[in-house]
Amino acid sequence: MTNKYNRVLYTGVTSNLLRRVAEHKEKSVPGFTSQYNVTKLVYHEEHATMEEAIAREKQIKGGSRQKKIDLIVSKNPDWKDLYDEFFV
């Protein structure tokens, strides 16, 4: 996820993407994402198990900012808010 200006990058894991993105958009959970206005879903992956998802989250978080940008651009070159496209 990112903010309006695509400056902040946030990586997380959840078992319910729709609910979790809505929480970020509503800023209902205090913390990093509400502090930095991280409300735009620009990339997501689905995994068969939570263990796989957590391992992938760690892999992404361990990568450079440029690797994260490249990952986003590979699937979403215009940095559109995927929540609006897929979930609304």
pTM of the model: 0.91
pLDDT tens readout for residues 17-32: 999 999 999 999 899 9
Closest CA to 82 of 50, 43, 51, 54: 43
Predicted confidence (pLDDT) per residue in 3-16, tens digit? 999 999 999 999 99
d(CA 1, CA 7): 10
* Contact indicator for 24, 1 with CB cutoff of 8 Å: yes
Q: Assess contact for 33 and 1: CB atoms under 8 A.
A: yes
Q: CA-to-CA distance for 11 and 9, rounded, in angstroms?
A: 7
